[in-house]
Amino acid sequence: MNGARAHFCDQVKYLGAFLKSSLKDDDDIQRQVKSLYCAANKLRDTFDQCSPAVKNTISCLLHANACLPIVEQIHTG
């Protein structure tokens, strides 16, 4: 590079993931877990004041959406 010194870094963010020179992704996994906990806490806080009937309906919808691909695979497989 024309006699200039190249600077190296220990980690870089690429496509939303942190890449480290040590090839370990522990820090990135911890970051993602923290993000998931924050999202779950926001959902809990958002629906905390809902009636039990509304909470039950939301729970059924969430579980149905999570289980639907599995059920479809069972029926088509």
Cα-only R_g, the chain: 22
* DSSP code of residue 72: H
Nearest to 31 by CA among 44, 10, 13: 13
- Has residue 39 got a pLDDT over 70? yes
Per-residue confidence (pLDDT) for residue 65, from 0 to 100: 62
| Token code pair at residue 27 | 């820090």
Q: Read off the pTM.
A: 0.51
Per-residue confidence (pLDDT) for residue 72, from 0 to 100: 60
